Amino acid sequence: TPRAPTLHCSAAGVSQVTVRDALNQALDEELERDERVFLLGEEVAQYDGAYKISRGLWKKYGDKRVIDTPISEMGFTGIAVGAAMAGLRPVCEFMTFNFSMQAIDQVINSAAKTCYMSAGSIAVPIVFRGPNGASAGVAAQHSQCFAAWYGHCPGLKVVSPWSSEDAKGLLKASIRDDNPVVMLENELLYGVPFEMSEQAQSKDFVVPIGKAKIERQGTHVTLVSHSRPVGHCLEAAAILAKEGVECEVINLRTIRPMDIETVEASVVKTNHLVTVEGGWPQFGVGAEICARIMEGSAFNYLDAPAVRVTGADVPMPYAKILEDNCIPQVKDIIFAVKKTLNI
Dump pLDDT digits (tens) for 94-103.
999 999 999 9
User: What does the pLDDT look like over 136-163, one tens digit per residue?
Assistant: 888 888 999 999 999 999 999 999 999 9
pLDDT in tens, 84-141: 999 999 999 999 999 999 999 999 999 999 999 999 999 999 999 999 998 888 888 8
In contact, 83 and 52? CB cutoff 8 Å: no
Give which of 166, 197, 205 is closest to 19, Cα–Cα.
166
Q: What are phi and psi of 127, to 5 degrees?
A: -115, 125
Tell me the pLDDT tens digit for each residue of 206-256. 999 999 999 999 999 999 999 999 999 999 999 999 999 999 999 999 999
Alpha helices in the chain (DSSP H): 19-33, 57-61, 73-85, 104, 113-117, 139-142, 147-151, 164-176, 229-241, 260-270, 285-295, 320-326, 330-341
Residue 58 has pLDDT above 50, yes or no: yes
What is the reported pLDDT for 12? 63
For residues 184 and 182, give the distance between their C-alpha atoms in angstroms, rounded to a whole number.
Answer: 6
pLDDT given at position 10? 55
Average of per-residue pLDDT across 317-330:
95
Where along the chain do the CATH 3.40.50.970 domains lie? Answer: 17-201
pLDDT 10s digits, 9-38: 555 678 999 999 999 999 999 999 999 999
pLDDT value at residue 135: 87
Mean pLDDT of the chain, nearest integer: 95
CATH 3.40.50.920 fits 213-341, yes or no: yes
For residue 6, pLDDT beyond 90: no
Query: Side-chain half-sphere of 250: how many Cα atoms within 13 Å?
Result: 27
Q: How many Å apart are CA 240 and CA 223, to the nearest integer?
A: 12
pLDDT band at 170 (very low <50, low <70, confident <90, very high): very high
**pLDDT surpasses 90 at 7:** no
- Tell me: pLDDT of 2 over 60: no
* Catalytic center residues: 73, 142
Q: What is the pTM of this model?
A: 0.94
Q: State how beta strands 127-131 and 181-185 pair.
A: parallel
Q: What are phi and psi of 326, to 5 degrees?
A: -95, -15
Residue 102 DSSP code: G
Neighbours of 72 (CB within 10 A): 13
Q: In what order do the strands lie in the sheet with 9-11?
A: 9-11, 14-18, 193-196
The burial of 71, by beta-carbon neighbours within 10 Å (0-12 exposed, 13-18 middle, 19 or more buried), is given as exposed
- Calpha distance 286→300 (Å, rounded): 19
Average pLDDT for 165-183: 98
What's the confidence (pLDDT) of residue 270?
98
With a cut of 60, say whether residue 68 has pLDDT above it. yes
Residue 8 has pLDDT above 90, yes or no: no
Q: Where in the chain is the domain with CATH 3.40.50.920?
A: 213-341
Q: How far apart are CA 125 and CA 59, in angstroms?
A: 25
The domain over range 17-201 is classified in CATH as 3.40.50.970 = yes
- Say if residues 317 and 323 touch (Cβ distance below 8 Å): yes
Per-residue pLDDT tens digits for 287-320? 999 999 999 999 999 999 999 999 999 999 999 9
